[in-house]
Amino acid sequence: TPLIRLEDYRPSDWLIDTVDLDISLAPQQTRVRALLGLRPNPAGRPGAPLILDGDELALSAIKLDGAALDASAFTAGPQSLTVHAPPQRGFTLTIETVLDPSANTKLMGLYRSSRVYCTQCEADGFRRITYFLDRPDVMSVYTVRLEAAKAEAPVLLSNGNRVATGEVPGSDRHFAVWHDPHPKPAYLFALVGGALDHVRADYVTADGQQVELAVYVEPGKAGRAGWALDSLVRCMRWDERVFGRNYDLDVFNVVAVSDFNMGAMENKGLNIFNDKYVLADPQTATDGDYASIEAIIAHEYFHNWTGNRITCRDWFQLCLKEGLTVFRDQEFSADERSRPVKRISDVRTLRATQFSEDAGPLAHPVRPRAYKEINNFYTPTVYEKGAEVIRMLKVLIGADAFKRGMDLYFERCDGTAATIEEFLACFAETSGKDLSDFARWYEQAGTPTIVASGRYDARAKRYTLDLAQTTPPTPGQTTKQPVVLPVALGLVGKGGDLPLTTGSAAYAGDGLIVLDQPSLSVVFSNVAEAPIPSLLRGFSAPVRLELDLSDADLLRLFSADSDSFNRWQALQSVATRALVAAGRPGTDPATLLAKANEIAGALDRFLREQGLADPAFAAQVLRLPAPADIAREIGGDVDPDAIYGAHRSLSGAIGQVLEATLVGLRDTLATKAAYAPDAASAGRRALRNEALGLIAIATPEMGARLVEQQFSSADNLTDRLAALAAMTLIPGEARERLIERFAALYADEPLVLDKWLMAQALIAETDTLDRVKRLMQHKAFSLGNPNRVRALIGGFAANLTQFNRADGAGYEFVADMVIALDRTNPQVASRLLGSFKSWKMLEPARKDLARASLALVARTPGLSRDVADIAERALA
């Protein structure tokens, strides 16, 4: 497979200004006629042949300027169509292809999902519909005529505005014509056809444009589309208010489909969603689902400006749209909900997904320099670390220069396919700062570590903070340069934050040090008392921090820091340190128990004094670092069973000390009010349910009783699922009965049964693998549906102790599944194979077994490029 390199980028030799598509939908034989308006690109090579991309295509007809082309003038195969000597002027090419959407199990290009026709074209799916210059810097104006049987597809949607509809005389068919005036790359093309219900709303933009909003769902599910529509209206207003962005078409449609490779897709004016991220009602969606739907609706909508109006020059610039759009959706959710709680949950995700990627063989820069399969680069590094880079940029240049930089970017790059360099140039201009060192964040992989230490000179009233940074080697990058690190800080004294006075050039004011050297020292003067440093407030940079504070100091920060994030972090750090020690062989269990008492004491005070003031925050505080976080922290020679054991002991011991407080809190937080999805109500449920989990571990009999009560009295899925999850921690008959009860209750709800499958796949017991194999035979499961696979097999692969079973059976099972899935859906298969990303940190015996399973995948004949690429890089 060829390696595609950023440095090899050159503009297309040809441009396609207009695309007229005529698509006649039928389940097995969809006819596509594409009329392409081509011209030589002034920036391309004169006289170059026209080479169009294809993927598994069959050409049925071709014409140039309306006349049939001689067979010697072109070469057509499944993967490309070449016109050898095209005219060196503007001309049209008419191309006809025939597709079988029902047979398209890859879910890329045009496919049918539960009787609905839909498309997925990012990154390179459009070439599965017709031959095309399928690259994001070729932008065209599309007009699309869709035709289908009226009964089968009464709804026909595409991008832009609907300009005509009608019947096809003498047939049972009808048509709709859509025109999108905004030039766009092919990856943003979409169509939908099917029998769908919808909910709608009228919207007037801040600049006075009337927009018709609609959310389309499977028949009978319109009652579950309201939250998505409501979220859409809220995020549209927010983008007007915060980023000054208005919508730009007469309609905005969202469609939910049940077979989808990822979360959702931002096609211009026609966002297509995995139904998991649209459908919600209190009986079938959790608080977490409501929050995800709100965030993903916003994310895809925000792409209209950051991705669609301004797109990417090439796929190396993917973070230009994804990192920036994640940043925007995170800010939206922070404004809609609690900012500190949102930050804590985003950082949990970042550490769990991106830090682990960065520490393993699949590490790559936010802007990769080379790829074999672009679909494997829709990663936490591009998305989440990409968002962190934008967040740091804002902190470094200040909110005002950031806002002006965004405005300049929107103005200057609108309608273009842009690069990271063009993006950064806008902020360099508005801030007057040289951002060339900052740009290293896009080039250098690996999570930097900051080592910090402080010294207080009581006589001189001086506090000296020493900071040093290093970034570990990653595949293909052995030596690293220092990066520009915004370190937000405070010095915490007995009565709160002490004033910061320093003449250091690294101090930017407002509690911000800029660490852009390998190391530096900042001396603060007039420091009245020995302070405790509170570093990286708000998690101001995506780094690991090594700061040798005593547990006593950390517990002081937990109770006294003015920064909520660092309050949460302080307690996590105490627990992490205890678990890291206990997760290593040969540690005295008494040490862990002593630490449990100390943590529980701090938690007890906190919960009694402040638990009810901000339950969502309290729920985050109560949730200890996960075993996988501890494994990552240990970093090498990892024994998952030892870590899990330590985690259980610590949780159990804390739960026992806190029992009365937790039970009391649960009672106080209980409500008779009907379910509402707002953040405050969700926060109360989160705290009650976090408490339930701890009680289940600490005192299983009481846990089982409370679970039973909660399951029976709940009026919503959040509480029922939390009860089920707590019960999965308590082996025995009662658990199995509850599992059956849950399945019976939700027998007709595939999305809820996904959660049921996952809850079982995550049980940390040795018979889980057998359970998972059994569940594969359950009628709720299907290997053909990505959501089902991610729930059951993906859930199992995320089960730290069982995926990493000492006998290697977990690896063998997942490897077999990858090989099986690869035959039908390579994207889903390669994502599943990504579960092996941390194999190199395991203890030697497991490492050998994991390597063997990866090697088995790698040597399977006929592998897709997607899976071969991951296997090869994971093994390197």
Residues annotated catalytic, as ranges: 300
Q: Does 134 bind ligand HT7 (CB under 6 A)?
A: no
265 binds, among Zn ion, ligand HT7, none (CB under 5 to 8 A by kind): ligand HT7
Determine if 55 is a binding residue for ligand HT7 (CB under 6 A).
no
Nearer CB in complex with ligand HT7: 12/827: 827
**Among the listed residues 66, 73, 55, 56, the one whose alpha carbon sits nearest the alpha carbon of residue 33:** 66
Q: Which of residues 194-213 bind ligand HT7 (CB under 6 A)?
A: none
153 SS3 class: coil
What DSSP designation does 3 have? P
The contacts of residue 414 (CB under 8 Å, 6+ apart) are 309, 310
Task: Sheet containing 109-113: give its strands across.
Answer: 109-113, 116-120, 191-194, 155-158
Question: Minimum Å distance from CB 762 to ligand HT7?
Answer: 25
Residue 375 contacts residue 830 (beta carbons within 8 Å): yes
Could you report how far apart the first and last alpha carbons of the chain are, in Å? 16
d(CA 413, CA 418): 7
Identity of the residue, 683 or 834, whose beta carbon is nearer to ligand HT7 in the bound complex: 834
- When CB distances are held under 5 to 8 angstroms depending on the partner's kind, the choice from ligand HT7, Zn ion, none that residue 267 binds is none
Q: Give the nearest distance from C-beta 135 to Zn ion in angstroms.
A: 18
Q: Is 266 in the site for ligand HT7 (CB under 6 A)?
A: yes
x/- track of binding to Zn ion for residues 320-349 (CB under 5 A): --x--x------------------------
Residue 790 engages ligand HT7 in binding (rule: CB under 6 A): no
Q: How far is the CB of 325 from Zn ion (least distance, A)?
A: 5
Residues in contact with 279: Cβ distance below 8 Å, sequence separation at least 6, in sequence order: 217, 221, 224, 225, 228, 256, 285, 751
User: Least distance in Å: CB of 382 to Zn ion?
Assistant: 10
Q: Given the complex with ligand HT7, which of 33 and 385 has the nearer CB atom? A: 385
Task: By CB under 6 A, tell whether 122 contacts ligand HT7.
Answer: yes
* Closest distance to ligand HT7 from the beta carbon of 706 (Å): 39
Minimum separation from the CB atom of position 592 to ligand HT7 (A): 41
- Number of other CB atoms surrounding residue 135 within 10 Å: 22
192 three-state secondary structure:
strand
Q: Which partner from the list ligand HT7, Zn ion, none does 122 bind, CB cut-off 5 to 8 Å by kind?
A: ligand HT7
Alpha-helical regions (H) of 244-352:
287-302, 318-336, 339-349
Is the CB of residue 216 less than 8 Å from the CB of residue 256?
yes
Cis bond upstream, residue 123 (ω within 30):
yes
Binding-site size for ligand HT7 (CB under 6 A) equals 13
**What is the nearest approach in angstroms of ligand HT7 to the Cβ of residue 299?**
6
799 near 762, Cβ under 8 Å? yes
In DSSP terms, 4 is beta-bridged to: 371
Asked if residue 535 lies in contact with residue 513, where contact means CB atoms within 8 angstroms, the answer is: no
Tell which positions 357-416 bind ligand HT7, by CB under 6 A: 378
Helix (H, G, I), strand (E, B) or coil at 448: coil
Is the CB of residue 49 less than 8 Å from the CB of residue 84? yes
Task: Select 273 or 675, whichever has its Cβ closest to ligand HT7.
Answer: 273
CA gap 538, 552 in Å, rounded:
21
State in angstroms the smallest separation of the CB of 124 from ligand HT7.
Answer: 9
Task: Tell me the pairing of strands 14-24 and 30-40.
Answer: antiparallel
Contact pattern for Zn ion over residues 305 through 324, marking x by CB under 5 A: -----------------x--
Tell which one of 41, 94, 119, 120 touches ligand HT7 (CB under 6 A): 120
b/e per residue 392-428 (b: at least 16 CB within 10 A)? bbbbbbbeebbebbbebbbeebeeebbbbebbbbbbb
| Contacts to ligand HT7 from residues 294-353, by CB under 6 A | 299-300, 303, 322
DSSP-based three-state secondary structure for 685: helix
Site for Zn ion in 36-55 (CB under 5 A): none
Count the residues of the shown chain that bind Zn ion, applying the rule CB under 5 A.
2
Q: Which residues bind Zn ion (CB under 5 A)?
A: 322, 325
Q: Which residues bind ligand HT7 (CB under 6 A)?
A: 120, 122-123, 261-262, 264-266, 299-300, 303, 322, 378
